[in-house]
């Protein structure tokens, strides 16, 4: 029987210096998947490669353990020896693999608990596997269910609520002041990484007018182009502050640039309209005293990180509930996988029964068509049809039961009772019509027909 497996490396097992050695570029994924399914004992495969993990989700070919070959394959693809990464690679099989996939999709295995990005990355990886022709029915069912589990976790728990990074918290704080950022003007002071991330989040939240100013004009222009903004000269800082609704500052200056003296002029010119100043610089760009002016709300990096810590603590509590959901869903999926092993038998059983019934039905229809029958004769013909079908279907099971060795007969009888929901009457019980006084005829007419091939069966 085939089973699901996972082989991979993540932030839990290795630092980025090691993870990046096994990383795949987007354009390499399809080729790697096709090579895996062609060269290894792998029937189905998906490869996800992000900054925090490189993992193969797959289905092994019948009777083979693919985890060792996949470990070697991942190392060889990156020009490494298998021994170089043996200690940081992990593998899971069966239910453990399903549980891992569900946990990853639900962001329970993420560096930032509850983050939403991994779900999109998994969906993209699934799309690549489908396009490459390496995703089959079992892996596809697992991934589709994983997406459903992730949706359930995000809906039924608080694991994704509350910002979990400084940039997103900055957006939340601005929203608390303005309610809606649509149409608000954002001034980005400096062109560093932190201010860029925060500006992206603000833009995505509806801030449509973004101005960038920086001491190096070329950096301001590059950042403005990235976030759909406009670059303005550093010399215009005071006027830009007057026009802004939200200020994000991260310049790397050694001394504050947003001073109390500057804001005394700015707030007067603004006529004390609300202004949110988000200072994510270290050392700080804004003097704390500017928060004393009416309408000015100042948040520094410590304020933002306190909110992040509180939100992550709430997510950790929610993770316990989410883990129970994942465990339940993994159990349900395991049950589904177990049932797939008997599907061919069920299909063959149905097809055999249908063939027997169809053959006898056709004979009966031919018989009825040859001459006219009274209603009583029609009933007799139809009754015989039913009897013949029953006899044929029960002939082989009856032979197998009667000819079973003594040590197996009871077990076979019990299995048949379970399969057909039977409650055989014991001799002398209410269901025994002879009451137990006289031995029952062990071979009544119908039973004889079952034990011996019916004439129509012999003719076939």
198 with 170: CB under 8 angstroms? Answer: yes
Vertex 203, ends 197 and 209: CA angle to 5°? 125
Q: Say whether 93 sits in a helix, a strand or coil.
A: strand
For residue 76, what are the CA distances in angstroms to 67, 143, 189, 192, 201?
14, 27, 46, 38, 39
Q: Say whether 250 sits in a helix, a strand or coil.
A: coil
Can you name the residues that pair with 248 across neighbouring β-strands?
A: 188, 278
Tokens for 14? 């290795």
- Give the active site residue among 1, 12, 28, 51: 51
Bond from prior residue into 440 cis (ω within 30 degrees of 0): no
Pairing of strands 209-213, 230-232: parallel
Tokens for 286? 């804004």
339-367: string of b/e by CB count within 10 Å (b at 16+)? eeeeeeeeeeeeeeeeebbebbeebbeee
- How far apart are the C-alpha atoms of 428 and 426, rounded to whole Å? 6
142 catalytically annotated: no
Can you name the residues that pair with 42 across neighbouring β-strands?
A: 60
Can you name the residues that pair with 212 across neighbouring β-strands?
A: 188, 231
Residues annotated as catalytic (active site), given as ranges: 51
């Amino acid at each position: 029987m085939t089973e699901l497996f996972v082989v991979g490396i993540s932030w839990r097992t290795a630092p980025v210096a090691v993870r990046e050695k096994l990383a795949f570029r987007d354009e390499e994924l399809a080729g790697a998947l096709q090579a895996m399914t062609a060269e290894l004992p792998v029937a189905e495969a998906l490869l996800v490669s992000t900054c925090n993990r490189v993992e193969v989700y797959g289905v092994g070919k019948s009777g083979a353990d693919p985890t060792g070959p996949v470990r070697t394959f991942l190392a060889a693809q990156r020009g490494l020896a298998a021994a170089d990464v043996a200690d940081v690679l992990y593998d899971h099989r069966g239910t453990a693999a399903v549980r891992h996939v569900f946990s990853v999709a639900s962001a329970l295995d993420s560096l930032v608990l509850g983050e939403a990005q991994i779900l999109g990355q998994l969906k993209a990886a699934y799309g690549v596997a489908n396009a490459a022709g390496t995703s089959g029915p079992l892996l596809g069912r697992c991934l589709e269910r994983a997406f459903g589990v992730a949706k359930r976790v995000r809906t039924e728990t608080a694991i994704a609520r509350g910002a979990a990074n400084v940039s997103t918290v900055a957006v939340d704080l601005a929203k608390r002041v303005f309610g809606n950022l649509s149409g608000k003007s954002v001034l980005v002071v400096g062109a560093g990484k932190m201010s860029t991330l925060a500006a992206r989040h603000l833009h995505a939240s509806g801030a449509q007018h973004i101005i960038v100013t920086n001491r190096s004009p070329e950096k301001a222009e590059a950042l403005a182009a990235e976030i759909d903004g406009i670059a303005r000269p550093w010399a215009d800082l005071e006027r830009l502050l007057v026009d802004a609704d939200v200020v994000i500052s991260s310049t790397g200056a050694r001394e504050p640039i947003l001073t109390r003296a500057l804001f005394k002029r700015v707030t007067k010119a603004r006529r004390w309209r609300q202004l949110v100043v988000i200072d994510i610089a270290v050392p700080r760009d804004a003097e704390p005293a500017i928060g004393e002016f009416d309408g000015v709300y100042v948040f520094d990096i410590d304020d933002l990180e306190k909110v992040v810590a509180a939100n992550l603590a709430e997510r950790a509590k929610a993770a316990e509930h989410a883990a129970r959901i994942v465990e339940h869903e993994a159990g349900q999926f395991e049950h589904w996988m177990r049932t797939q092993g008997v599907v061919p038998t069920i299909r063959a059983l149905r097809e055999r029964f249908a063939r027997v019934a169809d053959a006898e039905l056709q004979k009966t229809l031919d018989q009825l068509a040859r001459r006219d029958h009274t209603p009583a004769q029609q009933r007799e013909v139809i009754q015989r049809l039913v009897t013949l079908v029953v006899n044929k279907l029960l002939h082989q099971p009856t032979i197998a039961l009667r000819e079973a060795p003594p040590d197996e007969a009871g077990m076979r009888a019990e299995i048949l009772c379970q399969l057909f929901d039977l409650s055989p009457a014991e001799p002398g019980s209410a269901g025994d019509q002879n009451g137990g006084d006289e031995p029952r005829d062990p071979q009544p007419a119908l039973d004889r027909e079952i034990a011996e091939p019916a004439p129509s069966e012999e003719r076939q």
